[in-house]
Amino acid sequence: MLETLVPLRLERVVSAAAAATASPAFTALAVTAALVLLVLRLYRQAYQKPENFPPGPPRLPIWGSYWLMLWEDYRFMHKSLLTLAERYKTKVLGFYLGDFPCVMLKDYEDIKEMQSRSDLIGRADVIVARERSLGQRNGVIFSDGPQWSELRRFLLRHIRDFGWGRRFPATEEIMQQELADATALLRGEWDDEEVKRGDRVLISHMFPPYAMNAMWAMFGHARLPRGQHAPWHRIHRSVNKFFRATDPSGSAVSLTPWLRFLTPRRFGLQDVTDFNVPIRDFVQRAIREHREALDVGSEARDFLDKFLQRQKEAEAGAEGNPVFTDEQLLLTGVDMLTASSGALSGSIAFLWQQLLHHPEVQARVQAEVDAVVGRSRVPTLDDRVNMPYSEATVRESMRRVTMAPLSIAHVALEDTTIGGYSIPKGTLLYPHLHAIHMDPEIWGDPENFRPERFLEADGSLKKKDITFPFGGGKRLCLGETYSRHLMFLILTHVLQNFTLLPTGPLPPVDHALHGFALVPDELWARVVPRP
């Protein structure tokens, strides 16, 4: 009897429990409990940060603080970070991009310290950087570690032999030839329909071919003659497309790489892939031609020869050195062309954009050129020391519009501290260069375009330049000296012969297209020969 009753009662209990759980009241209670637990978990994740991590916005699901940054300014990340820093009343802002802990610095001393420290020179390993590097981490811009250090040393050591980053007569002669072609184009002595129509010139896109020609003469021992600049224009358009494809975070596709399988073009990754094609083909063709003509025992003509000779030595010695590979050489060439076509040429475009707003500055540069150089010869780098206002104009232009307002993110290589806060290993650090360049505590009237701020009371150039348009430390842009030289020469050559006037209403002085770096918009100017 008992054996029969026990299973029966158990069956009734189970049935009652099943009936209770199947009731609408129980279902609602279970759903509510699950939602409460989920909210508590998300809340904890949103505000749970490493000990002594800088103040900043919460970490939301999937993209972290990126949601809030997009809400503040979905186009310009540097503006959204400034807004958030003001909201949290901090000069060191802590936030998350997806799973990546990040820190933004806007204090001059903190940025200066960060740039000088070897434990803060890493680069983020994200899908966008790998996509442009053919799935690897090669080249000198987006890589780090021992291979990067050795490659960077080799590049700097040997490309200097051909004039990079120093005074070198052969390189300066090439620069002068390029600028002679540019001024001849402006006079109408030859045509380039890509950038000139009558007396109107697309000033924002005119100078990339000349910048790339001068650089490539050192790197690949070749120049494209006037009238044959189509490959340079094609590469310039491709580089601008790459810059616009993402933002300084790498955009959503870097935070959630699986998005590339859904809509690669929507999130910019396809544009990064497309960017590779013309620039990679150009560099690969040059490498192939150099390899076919290579004589290991002869004197190198350019950096490509130097690298290929070192590659042969590595192969002969069975070193297996991962630095001297075809992939490293290819990406180094891509990096150099990207910098001269995008970063340098963009800075030149922003210089002209500002000078169109300030004809009085153009007039004063012209007066200095007339006084120091005259009209019977062209300006040279020897004149630079005697032309402080022209040099100050270049400096002020790069201060007023910082082309890479957040630089390129650094990565902490170990647990450390900065600005009094703890920085875990792997944290991305963004130096807010725009904030430094527009800080009223440093500049007084940063909104005004005033080259005089870089001059002493007696009109001489201030020896100390506290701007960071090229970054600093071991991550200092390799092309700083070359860029400053070329910007000075372009400014003085053009204004020696012409005055630039607007063709209509001008955009704001700091107008730019958003992207990984600021990209100059199309800007036409009227070129008027000087009497």
Binding residues for heme: 477
| Residue that has been written with the tokens 């811009």 in this structure | 141
Q: What share of the chain is helix, strand, coil (3-state, %, to 5)?
A: 55, 10, 35
Helix (H, G, I), strand (E, B) or coil at 485: helix
Question: Which residues, 6+ apart, have CB-to-CB distance to 264 below 8 Å?
Answer: 253, 270, 273
| Cβ-contact 405, 78 below 8 angstroms | yes
Q: What are 428's strand-pairing partners?
A: 102, 411
Question: Which residues, 6+ apart, have CB-to-CB distance to 472 below 8 Å?
Answer: 111, 112, 115, 116
Give the whole-angstrom CA distance, residue 176 versus residue 155.
24
Largest CA distance in the chain: 124
Q: What are 418's strand-pairing partners?
A: 421
Order the strands of the 100-105 sheet from edge to edge. 92-97, 100-105, 428-431, 410-411
Q: State the DSSP H helix or E strand holding residue 354, giving kind and residue range, or none if neither.
A: helix 345-357
| Cβ-contact 131, 253 below 8 angstroms | no
Question: Within 10 Å of residue 204's Cβ, how many Cβ atoms?
Answer: 23
